[in-house]
Amino acid sequence: MDALRRALRALGRRSARARAARAPALGLLGAALAGCYMPLGGSGSERALAAYREDHARAVVLEVHQRGGKAEGQGRRAGGRLPASGALTVEQAVVAAQENSPRMQEMRARAEAARAAIDAWSHMANPELRIQQGRLDQYLNGQPRLGTAVRVKPLRPGEADAEAEVTRAEEVTVVAEARAEALLIEADVRWLFDELGLLTAEIAAADAVSAARKEISARVQERLAASMATSLDEAVAALSAAEAEQDGVGHRVRLAAVRGEILERVGLDPEASVQLMAGDVTRWPPPPLPSENVLVEAALRDRVEVATAAAQIDATHAMEFIEKRRRWPWFTFVEVGYQFAPSVESGRGWTFELGLELPVFNTQRSQASAAEASSRAAKSALVAQVKQVAREVRTCLREVEAAEKLVTAFRERVLPAAERAEAAAQKALAGQGIDAVEALSTREQQRSAEQKLLELLRRYLEGVNELRRAVGGHLPGGAEAK
Q: pLDDT value at position 11?
A: 46
Q: pLDDT value at position 28?
A: 53
Domain count, the chain: 1
Q: Is residue 33 part of a domain?
A: no
Mean pLDDT of 157-162: 84
Are 351 and 331 contacting, i.e. CB atoms less than 8 angstroms apart? no
pLDDT at 151 over 70: yes
Mean pLDDT of 281-287: 87
pLDDT at 176 over 80: yes
Q: pLDDT value at position 70?
A: 45
pLDDT at 172 over 70: yes
Average model confidence (pLDDT) across the chain: 80
Pairing type for strands 128-132 and 146-152 reads antiparallel
Is the model more confident about 65 or about 275?
Answer: 275
With a pLDDT cut of 90, the percent of the chain lying above it is 25
Question: Can you give the CATH number for the domain in which 204 is found?
Answer: 1.20.1600.10
pLDDT at 13 over 70: no
- Gap between the Cα atoms of 198 and 255, Å rounded: 9
Are 446 and 421 contacting, i.e. CB atoms less than 8 angstroms apart? yes
Closest among 302, 293, 481 to 397, alpha carbons compared = 293
Are 212 and 444 contacting, i.e. CB atoms less than 8 angstroms apart? yes
Mean pLDDT of 11-15: 51
Closest among 241, 100, 116 to 168, alpha carbons compared = 116
pLDDT at 134 over 80: no
- At position 432, the amino acid (one-letter code) is Q
Q: pLDDT value at position 235?
A: 82
pLDDT at 6 over 50: yes
Name the burial class of residue 464, with classes exposed (0-12), middle (13-18) and buried (19+) by CB atoms within 10 angstroms of its CB: buried
Is the model more confident about 219 or about 202?
Answer: 202
With a pLDDT cut of 70, the percent of the chain lying above it is 79
Q: pLDDT value at position 79?
A: 44
Q: Is residue 481 part of a domain?
A: no
Is the model more confident about 456 or about 279?
Answer: 456
Is the model more confident about 127 or about 136?
Answer: 127
pLDDT at 100 over 70: yes
Q: Is residue 333 part of a domain?
A: no
Is the model more confident about 279 or about 33?
Answer: 279
Closest among 192, 176, 178, 197 to 266, alpha carbons compared = 192
Q: Is residue 312 part of a domain?
A: yes
Q: pLDDT value at position 74?
A: 45
- Gap between the Cα atoms of 103 and 123, Å rounded: 32
pLDDT at 186 over 80: yes
pLDDT at 169 over 70: yes
- Gap between the Cα atoms of 402 and 23, Å rounded: 83
Name the burial class of residue 360, with classes exposed (0-12), middle (13-18) and buried (19+) by CB atoms within 10 angstroms of its CB: exposed
What string of DSSP letters covers 268-337? --TT---EEE---TT-SSPPPPPPHHHHHHHHHHH-HHHHHHHHHHHHHHHHHHHHHHTTS-EEEEEEEE
Q: pLDDT value at position 434?
A: 60
Q: Is residue 245 part of a domain?
A: yes
pLDDT at 85 over 50: no
Q: What is the greatest pairwise CA distance in the chain? A: 136
Go through 83-108 and write b for each residue having 16 or more CB atoms within 10 A of its CB, e for each that does not: eeeeebbbebbbbbbbbbbeebeebe
pLDDT in tens, 24-65: 555 555 554 455 655 666 666 665 666 666 665 665 565 555
pLDDT at 458 over 90: yes
Give me the sheet containing 128-132, strands edge to edge. Answer: 128-132, 146-152, 330-340, 350-357
* Residue 419: how many other CB atoms lie within 10 Å: 12
Q: pLDDT value at position 126?
A: 87
pLDDT in tens, 349-403: 899 999 999 988 888 889 889 989 999 999 999 999 999 999 999 999 999 999 9
Q: pLDDT value at position 416?
A: 86
Q: For residue 398, what are the domain limits?
A: 80-123+155-327+363-471
Q: Is the peptide bond before 285 cis (omega within 30 degrees of 0)?
A: yes
Q: pLDDT value at position 64?
A: 55
Describe the chain by its helix, strand, coil percentages, rounded to 5: 70, 10, 25
Cα separation values, 111 from 102, 121, 429, Å: 14, 16, 72
pTM comes to 0.72
- Gap between the Cα atoms of 321 and 332, Å rounded: 19
Q: Is residue 53 part of a domain?
A: no
- Gap between the Cα atoms of 467 and 461, Å rounded: 10
Mean pLDDT of 142-150: 85
- Gap between the Cα atoms of 114 and 125, Å rounded: 19
The continuous run of DSSP H or E covering 213 comes out as: helix 159-225
Q: Is residue 15 part of a domain?
A: no
pLDDT at 280 over 80: yes
Mean pLDDT of 291-305: 91
Mean pLDDT of 231-240: 78
Q: Is residue 62 part of a domain?
A: no
